[in-house]
Structure 1
Amino acid sequence: MKKLRISDLRDIGSGHILQDVMPGAYLSSGGLAFSARGERSHTHDGPDGRDYHVHGDSEAFVIMQGSGMMEINGNLIPVTTGDIVIVEPGEDHHLISSEDDPIVTVWCHAGPNHHKNQQ
C-alpha cells in the first residue's frame, strides 16, 4: 500500500494523473462511491462469504470528501479528504467510512488498454 496526498502528484499534462504511482498506461475502470456512515466496503465478498477482497492489479482510492480508515491486510490506516491510497496487487482491502464525516471516493484501476467505451 502507498499513501500520498493529491498535492504530491506531479503536473504531467498528458497520460493519466496517477501514472507515477500506479502501473498501467490507461485508466481502465473505476467509479465514484458515496459511502454510508460507518459502512465497510467489500464485507463478506470473499469465497464462502469471508471478509476477503483482493485484485491482481493495483487499485487507487482518491478521498474526495470525508474521512475514514483504509483496512489493508487487517491494519487500519486513517484517510481524509485529499489522500490517495494505492492498494497493491494481492492486498486484502476494505474502506471504512466515518460515522461523523462519511467518505466519498473515486476509485480506479489502470492497465494496458483503454476502458471498453474508449476502444
Structure 2
Amino acid sequence: MRKLSLADLPDGGTPATLAAIGQGWGPVQRGGISRYDAPGHRTHPESDVHVHDVPEIFTIVQGAGVLELDGVAETRFAAGDLLIIEPGENHHLVSDGDVPLVFTWMHLSPVDAGSTSV
C-alpha cells in the first residue's frame, strides 16, 4: 500500500499521473464513486477478505477514516489522500469523520502480452 496526497501529484492527476502511480499496469478497468453517511461504516463485511489481482486506487474526496490492511487498522486517511492498494492486499475503508465519507475507486487493468502500459 502507498499513500499520497493530491498535493504530491505534479500535474493535478492527469492520465500521465495515473500511469505513473500504476506503473506496470494498464488503464483503468472499472471504477466508481461511493458515499457512506454513518461513522464506523466499513466498506465490506468484517468477515470478508477483500482482495484483487490488480491495483486499486482510492481518492478520498470528503471525510476521514482508517484503512484496514491485512487485518490491521493503522493507516489514517482524509480528504485529499490517494491510497494505492497493491494486488493481493486485503483492504477495507472505515469511516470515522464528522461528515460523510466520499471516495472514488479505480481498478487498473493487467497489461496484455505485447502491449504497453499507459
Gaps (5+ residues) in structure 1?
A: 45-49, 114-119
Question: How do 1:29-108 and structure 2 match up within 5 A?
Answer: 29-37=30-38, 38-43=40-45, 50-76=47-73, 77-98=75-96, 100-108=98-106
**Root mean square deviation, CA, Å:** 2.1
Could you tell me how far 1:17 is from its partner in structure 2?
A: 3.6
Could you tell me how far 1:10 is from its partner in structure 2?
A: 2.5
> Do the aligned partners of residues 21 and 110 (structure 1) sit closer, same or farther apart at CA in structure 2, a change above 3 Å counting?
same
- 90-99 or 18-27: bigger deviation: 18-27
Partner of 1:116: none
Gaps (5+ residues) in structure 2?
A: 113-118
Deviation track 1:69-105 (CA, whole Å, cap 9, x = no partner) reads 1111122211000000001111000010125232100
Partner of 2:8: 8
Identity %: 38
Task: Determine the C-alpha separation between the residues in 1 that align with 2:78 and 2:12.
Answer: 24
Whether the 8 Å CA contact 1:59–1:110 is kept in 2: the answer is yes
Whether the 8 Å CA contact 2:37–2:100 is kept in 1: the answer is yes
Aligned length: 108
Q: Secondary structure at the match of 1:18?
A: helix
Task: Determine the C-alpha separation between the residues in 1 that align with 2:12 and 2:92.
Answer: 30
Q: Secondary structure at the match of 1:79?
A: strand
Q: Secondary structure at the match of 1:30?
A: strand
> Do the aligned partners of residues 52 and 8 (structure 1) sit closer, same or farther apart at CA in structure 2, a change above 3 Å counting?
same
Q: Which runs of 4+ in 1 moved over 6 A?
A: none
Q: TM-score, normalised by structure 1?
A: 0.80
- 80-89 or 35-44: bigger deviation: 35-44
